[in-house]
A and B are shown apart, each in its own frame.
Chain A
Amino acid sequence: MNDRLAQPFQQPKTREIAERMAEDVKGRSLWADARRRFVANRAAMVSVVVLTLIVLFSLFGQAISEYDIETIDWDVLGNVATAGKPSISNGHYFGFDENGRDLYNRVVQGSRISLAVGVIGALVAVIVGTIYGATAGFIGGRVDSIMMRLVDIFMSIPYMFVLILLLVVAGRSITMIFVGIGLTAWLDMSRIVRGQTLSIKNREFVEAAIAIGVPTWRIIIRHIVPNLLGVVVVYATLLVPQMILTESFISFLGLGVQEPFTSWGALLSEGTKTMNYGTLWHLAFPLFFFVVTIFCFFFIGDGLRDALDPKDR
């Protein structure tokens, strides 16, 4: 067989022309096309810039402040409404929180946790959901039925209830939030991916790969997944704010991260408690970052959908 393989093909026809055009032509992939469309979308690009700034703020924000998240200023405590106002001059840019701690640093740190929960939760959903859904959809038949009924069963369990129970039983910690959110986030994703896989599976190029003899896992990775990545990416960007909202809700209930650490939800929760005492900045600063981030993700998600799926606009 191998000497058969080594035989040259006869009659080179286009070689001459090819030599004149010696350089390889660079193709434009569907990804490159999508990138061009995305860059042309102004709302999405502005959102990317704003979001980048927020991420940088959450990562390096403490560098421009001389305070930390837990030191209490005893002079301000009990007198926050008048003495704890935001001020550029004394370095407490966002003022003090109810307990006399520097709010700026707390917002920086809260942003970091909330964004991490959002991104990691979405990442778990994407990885687990994509592999699970693509496998179920591609193999099909009984395997598909069993795998998807399992998802149905998980989905029928009230998810917030499980998450709260988990946090109460296993103790409040950020790891538990990651585990709890990760456990449930991939379910929707796997359903979406399975549906897409079913439609891609019957396309001729997958049939061609089967005829060639490409192993099943390579078909899933090389042919199925790249073609459903568009849907996955869009859904993932919309999933991030959903994760952030879930974490905020849990923290708002008082079950989220533990003191002295905080998150947007916890900050908002404290802010709403004290807003009657004239300390509106407790609510305003975290709310600003929270709302802006979620809007950014929605705009980016919309932009990606338009860019990746020009037919559906």
Chain B
Amino acid sequence: MNMQSPLLSVRDLKVWFDIKRQGAMPWTPTDTLKAVDGVDFDLMPGETLGIVGESGCGKSTLARAIMRMVPAEAGTVMWLDDDLLQLNHHDMREHRKEMQMIFQDPLASLNPRMTIGQIVAEPLKTHHPGLSPSEVKDRVREVLDRVGILPNMINRYPHEFSGGQCQRIGIARALIVKPQLIICDEPVSALDVSIQAQVINLLMEIQEEMGLSLIFIAHDLSVVKHISTRVMVLYLGNVVEISEAEQLYRSPGHPYTEALISAVPIPDPTAEASKEVMILDADLPSPLNPPSGCVFRTRCPIAGPECAETKPSLTDRGNGQQVACHKR
């Protein structure tokens, strides 16, 4: 572990949504959906944190809460020396140029009525309104060039590009203000595999050049393994494990991580056929009514009576691998 101070430090972040029951009267109390329920992690400068977990486990909500796009219930998000959750709108806007986001659906994240030149220029115009139009244009061309889009395409519209190109444009838009952190919310899950590799390699190259930190959300474990320095596994809004990527894949600490990793297909038919997949019983419990104690216990092969009583906290196993499990 390095001794640098973290760029981003999240403590006990909770995001709760009020859900109105179907056909409820206006005065009946709403149900609370705990989408993110007490997440802690640190992100070092230049590091890539992968976030994995199945659908609905709170990955995207966590990212949006850090960006203050959904209101957080409790917790702190320290960005260098400021708590982002306590900032007013004006100060938050100042910080937005330091962190940018890349979205899942490449085409949907670009406004169909704007040219890609206008789209990529928007963050620059928002955060550096003093730049002259020709300076803006030069920088747009430069960043498009960097992500592998011909700069003379700036007058084209998003629907004239392929999915991979649209995602490159999305990356250009995130890069143009030279941020320190980019949050990638499943940036490659809508792309086919060969394009995925190109986009991920582009992200890694740029990260190296600019010393960027990345938060990389995905449900594809092999992609996450390729890009991440550390990986965080979420289950029902709770962190079940954080560890160095290598360590996590070599010896998963938490039974849930183990199950996830055993489910990754191996690109070799014989190995794939003989591989033992750990199949979890039952379905994902409703986040409206999560199990008591350890949220994973209803599907856990090694759960014992103590798991129903107290929620396990993340404990360091000595090598930087933090696992939230009573049994391990």
What CA separation (Å) do A204 and B102 show in the bound complex? 10
* A211–B69 CB distance below 8 A: yes
* B142–A212 CB distance below 8 A: no
| A212 touching B96 in the complex, CB below 8 Å, given contacts A205-B108, A207-B103 | yes
The interface of chain B, by Cβ under 8 A from chain A, is: 67, 69, 92-93, 96-98, 100-101, 103-105, 108-116, 122-123, 126-128, 142-143, 145-146, 148-157, 159-160, 170, 173, 175, 177-178, 205, 209
Residue of B nearest to A212 (CB): B123
What CA separation (Å) do A210 and B123 show in the bound complex? 10
Interface mask (A1-28 → B, CB under 8 Å = 1, otherwise 0): 1001101111111110110011111111
What CA separation (Å) do A201 and B205 show in the bound complex? 33
* A10–B114 CB distance below 8 A: no
What CA separation (Å) do A117 and B277 show in the bound complex? 73
| A9 touching B113 in the complex, CB below 8 Å, given contacts A27-B155, A30-B159, A207-B103 | no
Q: Which of B101, B116, B160 contacts A208 (CB 8 A)?
A: B101
Count of inter-chain pairs, beta carbons less than 8 A: 125
Interface centre among A5, A12, A26, by most B CB within 10 Å? A5
What CA separation (Å) do A12 and B148 show in the bound complex? 8
What CA separation (Å) do A29 and B108 show in the bound complex? 16
What CA separation (Å) do A208 and B108 show in the bound complex? 10
Residue of A nearest to B127 (CB): A213
* A17–B109 CB distance below 8 A: no
In the complex, which residues of chain B have a beta carbon less than 8 angstroms from the beta carbon of A29? 113, 115, 157
* A11–B146 CB distance below 8 A: yes
> Could you tell me the distance in whole angstroms from the C-beta of A305 to the nearest C-beta in chain B?
18
What CA separation (Å) do A60 and B100 show in the bound complex? 57
User: What are 8 sample pairs from A and B whose C-beta atoms fall under 8 A apart?
Assistant: A11-B209, A13-B146, A14-B150, A27-B116, A210-B69, A212-B96, A212-B100, A213-B96
Q: Which of A7, A21, A204 contacts B152 (CB 8 A)?
A: A21
The interface of chain A, by Cβ under 8 A from chain B, is: 1, 4-5, 7-15, 17-18, 21-31, 203-205, 207-215, 218, 222-223, 226-227
> Could you tell me the distance in whole angstroms from the C-beta of B154 to the nearest C-beta in chain A?
6
What CA separation (Å) do A123 and B155 show in the bound complex? 31
Residue of A nearest to B155 (CB): A27
Given contacts A207-B109, A213-B96, A215-B93, 19 further A-B contacts (CB under 8 A): A7-B178, A9-B142, A9-B209, A11-B146, A12-B145, A13-B145, A13-B148, A15-B151, A18-B145, A24-B152, A25-B155, A27-B115, A29-B115, A31-B113, A207-B69, A208-B173, A211-B101, A213-B126, A222-B114
* B112–A25 CB distance below 8 A: no
Residue of B nearest to A209 (CB): B122
* A25–B209 CB distance below 8 A: no
In the complex, which residues of chain B have a beta carbon less than 8 angstroms from the beta carbon of A210? 69
| A8 touching B126 in the complex, CB below 8 Å, given contacts A1-B97, A17-B150, A204-B104 | no
In the complex, which residues of chain A have a beta carbon less than 8 angstroms from the beta carbon of B146? 9-13
Q: Which of B153, B157, B175 contacts A28 (CB 8 A)?
A: B157
| A25 touching B100 in the complex, CB below 8 Å, given contacts A14-B145, A227-B113 | no
In the complex, which residues of chain A have a beta carbon less than 8 angstroms from the beta carbon of B150? 14, 17-18, 21, 25
| A23 touching B152 in the complex, CB below 8 Å, given contacts A5-B178, A212-B96, A227-B113 | yes
* A203–B155 CB distance below 8 A: no
What CA separation (Å) do A29 and B119 show in the bound complex? 13
Residue of A nearest to B179 (CB): A4
* B152–A15 CB distance below 8 A: no
In the complex, which residues of chain B have a beta carbon less than 8 angstroms from the beta carbon of A213? 92-93, 96-97, 123, 126-127
Interface centre among A13, A26, A213, by most B CB within 10 Å? A213
Q: Which of A9, A13, A209, A212 contacts B175 (CB 8 A)?
A: A9
What CA separation (Å) do A14 and B147 show in the bound complex? 9
In the complex, which residues of chain A have a beta carbon less than 8 angstroms from the beta carbon of B96? 211-213
What CA separation (Å) do A5 and B139 show in the bound complex? 10
Residue of A nearest to B105 (CB): A204
> Could you tell me the distance in whole angstroms from the C-beta of A233 to the nearest C-beta in chain B?
13
In the complex, which residues of chain A have a beta carbon less than 8 angstroms from the beta carbon of B127? 213
Interface centre among B92, B123, B170, B205, by most A CB within 10 Å? B123
In the complex, which residues of chain A have a beta carbon less than 8 angstroms from the beta carbon of B170? 208
Q: Which of B154, B160, B173, B178 contacts A4 (CB 8 A)?
A: B178
> Could you tell me the distance in whole angstroms from the C-beta of A226 to the nearest C-beta in chain B?
4
What CA separation (Å) do A3 and B145 show in the bound complex? 20
In the complex, which residues of chain A have a beta carbon less than 8 angstroms from the beta carbon of B109? 204-205, 207-208
| A24 touching B154 in the complex, CB below 8 Å, given contacts A30-B159, A207-B103, A212-B126 | yes
Residue of A nearest to B130 (CB): A2
Closest 6 pairs between A and B when the two form their complex, measured CB to CB: A27-B156, A213-B96, A9-B146, A204-B109, A226-B113, A204-B108
* B126–A214 CB distance below 8 A: yes
Q: Which of A8, A205, A211 contacts B100 (CB 8 A)?
A: A211
